[in-house]
A and B are shown apart, each in its own frame.
Chain A
Amino acid sequence: MPAILEVRDLVKRYPGVTAVDGIHFAVEAGECFGLLGPNGAGKTTTVEIMEGITPPTSGEVIYRGKPVDARFRQEVGIQFQSTALQDFITVRETLELFRSFYSRGLSVDELSRLCTLQEYLDRDARKLSGGQRQRLLLALALVNDPEVLFLDEPTTGLDPQARRNFWELIRDIKARNKTVILTTHYMEEAFLLCDRIAIMDHGRIIAEGPPASLLAKHFHDVILQLPKADFTLDPADLGIPLLDAGEYVEISTADVDTALQKLMAKRVSLARLQIRARTLEDLFLELTGKELRA
């Protein structure tokens, strides 16, 4: 697939800090590309440079083979991490306002149907719940029926139900063959939605690829989890390295059968044993030595 967007040697420096430190990557048309990293990793700065909101110190962003120009803003949709809207203005009026900025796009009815806002069209935008508000911001990003959609931490602050509803909307958008660039620090979100991800830390990309491939490349084991209360054994007696994970003890192993046999031989209760696959959170910890949400 051809790259619809390409970032070349991007650098952004502020006084005393380099927010983006010479990164480059390409986003293919129709894919969902995730930028992951903790707060301060440089992902929002990177996305804002790609959106044309922030000028880079050096480097360039290429759209359909050319540096971004006036056409770019007509063809992309953007949802910021947080956006205030005008007071006393209804959902319908807000959609009509943003629709007027573009030469082509979706009607208010289409947008409200796509983002399930039909019930709230005449409601003051200030009186929407968190999930409804995020759906309105998504509708504003879709108002011009964009080729590329930027979503900057769109589900931050939402409850689990609202987050899952939002994921369904993004899946619907992906099904319309749109290119989505998503920044998030929710690993589950990235794993479920993204075709490829880039993990950022200190302004650099430290890993890039499809989530499953990255995990397969870096991990060949699974994690056994046992509540600490059930694990009365001296770790030295077990002969397997143990990890402290809060209320749990974790055992990393590529040979589950042998590990379970050892635990049973030492008469450790397996009633509350859980086995989980490695996650992107583990990958980040592995690559950087720190928690992703730090």
Chain B
Amino acid sequence: MIRRYLAVLKTRNLEFLRDRAALGWNVALPVFIVVGMWLIFSGGQKPLFKVAVLNGVTAIASIDVAFLKTRYVDFYPVDDEAATESKVAHNQIDMLMDLRDPKSPRYWVNETSPKGYILEKILAGETDTHYARATVSGRAINYVDWLVPGVLGMNMMFSCLFGVGYVIVRYRKSGFLKRLNATPLKAFEFIAAQVSSRLLLIMSVTTLVFIGTYWLVGFYMAGSYLLLLLTAVLGAVCMISLGLLVAARVASEEFAGGLLNLASWPMMFLSGVWFSLEGSPMWIQDVAKVFPLTQMLDAARKVMLDGAGLAAIWPQLLSMACMSALFLALGSFGFKWKNE
């Protein structure tokens, strides 16, 4: 059994590594995107002010505070004080306000943040109420720091989904799977080899791109590399399994391409690859939580930007592990070697 598994794994790896065009594209694309974004955004912060508001159950629009009517400032409700403070510390949010007790309102700013400084001045000019001032500090998180895990995750997603899904459908359509089915090779041996091969290759490529991008751009990394690796491995297994599920029975490359696009494009836009969903309607954030890429990026950013440990990201890891098990079980159960 091990011999058959290793042989399929070896030839699939050789097939991928010798396909220079595909390999080059897998490595080059994320580097191009990250460098491009770095060139565009390295000159400064995004122009919009962001203020998070701890306000209990009251809607922000109904709070009678003049400052909250300030134009060009995005006010949005939050309920996790500690997590939001951390975001202020990293300049991901410009100010945090606590309006839960109207008698003793408070706010937090990062003293090194120019946008926090401006917001403080506006707040002082808009009201006579005394706000308790608190400061937090930390390294400023630039957009490129935030973007790197998103782009690497997106590249992993496309590679996992299309690299497994499309290849299996091509094997089935060409009759290669039918030929394998005529041998003693078992479905789970073939599937395990495909998953392992893609995992090995995508982790190698992503590690190379991670190191290369760090060397080129120098993004922020606060947490444990080991935990980040665990997050990436679980995320990759989850998305490979999703690709396998899509390809389990399909024999048409066009149909498989449609299904894979249907899976990948919502993830690309709603999983927080390019921009944060904070401030967007809750139902969109809830929908996004079912995507493996969302879970992986949430965990990866917590590790990379907040220095989070296992205790902080175990829900995302557990979620990815459960989705992987479900996708693999359904994909293996429904797997077909040949066209009917």
Contacts and interface: CB of A to CB of B under 8 A. Distances in A.
A97 B8 contact: yes
A100 interface: yes
B49 to A, nearest CB: 53
Given A85-B176, A88-B18, A100-B4, A80 B182 contact: yes
Interface of B is mostly: helix
A89 B14 contact: yes
11 contacts: A52-B182, A53-B181, A73-B182, A73-B183, A80-B179, A88-B14, A89-B11, A89-B14, A97-B10, A100-B7, A101-B184
Contact of B183 (A86, A94, A96, A102): A102
B301 interface: no
A98 B6 CA distance: 12
A88 B178 contact: no
Contacts of A80: 175, 178-179, 182
B185 A101 contact: yes
Interface in B162-196: 171, 174-176, 178-179, 181-185
B175 A82 contact: yes
A83 interface: yes
Most buried by A among B6, B182, B184: B182
A123 B176 CA distance: 19
B19 interface: yes
A73 B183 CA distance: 6
A188 B55 CA distance: 90
B87 interface: no
B15 interface: yes
B151 to A, nearest CB: 28
A69 to B, nearest CB: 12
Contact of B7 (A52, A73, A83, A101): A101
B165 to A, nearest CB: 17
Interface residues of B, number: 24
Contacts of B182: 51-53, 73, 78, 80
A89 B18 CA distance: 9
A242 B181 CA distance: 52
A152 to B, nearest CB: 11
A73 B19 contact: no
Given A88-B19, A100-B4, A83 B181 contact: no
Identify the 5 closest CB pairs spanning chains A and B, nearest first: A84-B174, A100-B7, A88-B18, A101-B183, A78-B182
A53 B338 contact: yes
B15 to A, nearest CB: 5
Nearest to A140: B179
Given A82-B175, A97-B10, A140-B179, 12 more contacts: A53-B178, A53-B182, A85-B179, A86-B11, A87-B15, A87-B19, A88-B14, A88-B15, A89-B15, A96-B7, A101-B7, A102-B184
A132 interface: no
Interface of A: 51-53, 70, 73-74, 78, 80, 82-89, 93-94, 96-98, 100-102, 140
Contacts of B4: 100-101
Interface of B: 3-4, 6-8, 10-12, 14-15, 18-19, 171, 174-176, 178-179, 181-185, 338
Nearest to B173: A84
A80 B182 CA distance: 10
A87 B170 CA distance: 11
A88 B77 CA distance: 55
Nearest to A86: B15
B323 to A, nearest CB: 29
Contacts of A87: 15, 19
Contacts of B183: 73, 98, 101-102
A244 to B, nearest CB: 41
A80 B181 CA distance: 12
A51 B337 CA distance: 14
